[in-house]
């Protein structure tokens, strides 16, 4: 799923993520592209929640898919 790079940068300014999440995001970082491709199954629930509430590019269908990916713990 493509999300805005700006959304991830905002998250990183105020939240810490584990190393694997960070590596996954950096691997997909193309500095000339405004979007980052993520696999919702490979990022933390906290990051998914942040994306759902802060990425203005996501459709309601995308938000629903991401919400389903958040494990209830």
Angle 7-36-38 (CA atoms, 0-180°, nearest 5)?
100
pLDDT at residue 58 greater than cutoff 60: yes
Segment 10-33, tens digit of pLDDT: 888 888 777 676 667 766 666 788
Angle 47-11-55 (CA atoms, 0-180°, nearest 5)?
75
The pTM of this model reads 0.79
Give φ, ψ of 3 to 5 degrees: -130, 160
């Amino acid at each position: 799923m493509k999300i805005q790079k700006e959304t991830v940068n905002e998250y990183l300014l105020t939240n810490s993520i584990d190393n694997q999440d960070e590596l996954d995001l950096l691997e997909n970082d193309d500095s000339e592209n405004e979007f980052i491709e993520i696999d919702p199954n490979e990022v933390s629930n906290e990051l998914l929640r942040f994306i759902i509430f802060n990425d203005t590019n996501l459709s309601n269908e995308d938000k629903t898919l991401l919400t389903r990916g958040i494990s209830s713990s």
